[in-house]
């Protein structure tokens, strides 16, 4: 039902140009005015061509892929829970 999306970090030099043109390539999640980067999401099947197109823009310094969806977020602990020993 939902298509797979991947995050991209775009480092830029011109904030005004970035705010207007990055919407064409995916959904912009956050733009940092102080550090001059934007976090955005794009479709995973078109990731490589989108990164190449973004790199060609004159105001873009660097484009990085986000590895957030590859990080394990489910944790398990082999240590038993000791909170039940400290009840009132």
CA separation (Å) from 50 to 3, 10, 55, 74, 79? Answer: 16, 11, 9, 30, 45
Domains, the chain, with CATH or none: 5-69 (3.30.70.80)
Tens of pLDDT along the chain (88 residues) come to 577 889 999 999 999 988 889 999 999 999 999 999 999 999 999 999 999 999 999 999 999 998 887 788 777 777 777 777 776 6
DSSP code at position 13: S
Burial (CB < 10 A; 0-12, 13-18, 19+), residue 82, is exposed
Q: pTM (2 decimals)?
A: 0.76
Query: So what's the pLDDT on residue 80?
Result: 72
Distance CA(32)–CA(34), nearest Å, equals 6
pLDDT of residue 7: 93
Q: What is the pLDDT of residue 74?
A: 79
Confidence (pLDDT) at 1: 59
In this structure, are residues 38 and 22 in contact, taking their beta carbons and an 8 Å threshold?
Answer: yes
CA distances from 4 to 12, 16, 46, 47 (A): 25, 29, 10, 11
Looking at residue 28, its pLDDT comes to 94
pLDDT of residue 24: 93
């Amino acid at each position: 039902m939902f298509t797979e999306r991947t995050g991209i970090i775009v480092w830029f030099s011109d904030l005004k140009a970035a705010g207007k043109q990055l919407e064409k390539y995916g959904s912009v999640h956050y733009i940092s005015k102080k550090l001059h980067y934007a976090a955005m999401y794009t479709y995973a099947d078109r990731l490589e061509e989108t990164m190449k197109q973004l790199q060609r823009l004159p105001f873009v310094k660097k484009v990085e892929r986000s590895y957030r969806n590859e990080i394990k977020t489910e944790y398990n602990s082999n240590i038993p829970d000791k909170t039940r020993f400290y009840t009132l």
